[in-house]
Amino acid sequence: MGVFAAAVREIAAVARAKTETHRHLRERIVAIALVSIVVDLVCGVLVFLFERHAPGTDVKGIGTALFFSSTQLLTVSSSMTNPLTTAGRILDVAMEAYAITVVASLAGSFGAFFHHRSMERKTHGADARH
């Protein structure tokens, strides 16, 4: 229970921006989330525009296009067929590159957070732990 409780305290500290390190991680996560929502919406509209008239497409409406763009950004795969148009394929590759970049950026952000938290704990002792 100790490790779980410590993890919950750290998550709460990030939400409250308890220290500069917590604030910095929160800002990075929020920025990545907001940019990703905008990218998803723009890509969904573009997928709809590019794919809706292609013969044999699964994209029949904006909802389907948003589903496709969301699954591409979240998992770099979709249960739908691959894009059929050249523009759709180029967009698909760009979405996959964006998704990989976001995962790498988040990993780097968490790595930096853990490093800075360990430095805070060494510098401030028990005060930085709670």
What is the residue extent of each domain of the chain?
28-107
Give the position of tokens 């028990």.
126
**In this structure, which CATH number among 2.70.98.10, 3.40.50.2300, 2.130.10.10, 1.10.287.70 belongs to the domain 28-107?**
1.10.287.70
- Residue range 32-68, pLDDT digits in tens: 999 999 999 999 999 999 999 999 999 999 999 999 9
User: Residue 116's closest CA among 30, 2, 32, 18?
Assistant: 18
Helix axis angle, 20-51 to 86-124, nearest 10°: 170
Task: For the beta carbon of residue 46, count every other beta carbon within 10 angstroms.
Answer: 18
Q: Quick one: pLDDT at residue 98?
A: 95
- Residue range 73-127, pLDDT digits in tens: 987 666 677 899 999 999 999 999 999 999 999 999 999 999 998 888 888 765 5
User: Residue 107's closest CA among 14, 33, 8, 29?
Assistant: 29
Q: What is the dihedral of CA 59, 63, 65, 69, to 10 degrees?
A: -150
Give the position of tokens 């939400």.
15
Q: Quick one: pLDDT at residue 55?
A: 93
- Cβ atoms of residues 47 and 91 within 8 Å: yes
Residue by residue, DSSP assigns 15-57 as HHT-SHHHHHHHHHHHHHHHHHHHHHHHHHHHHHHHHTTSTT-
- Cβ atoms of residues 68 and 44 within 8 Å: yes
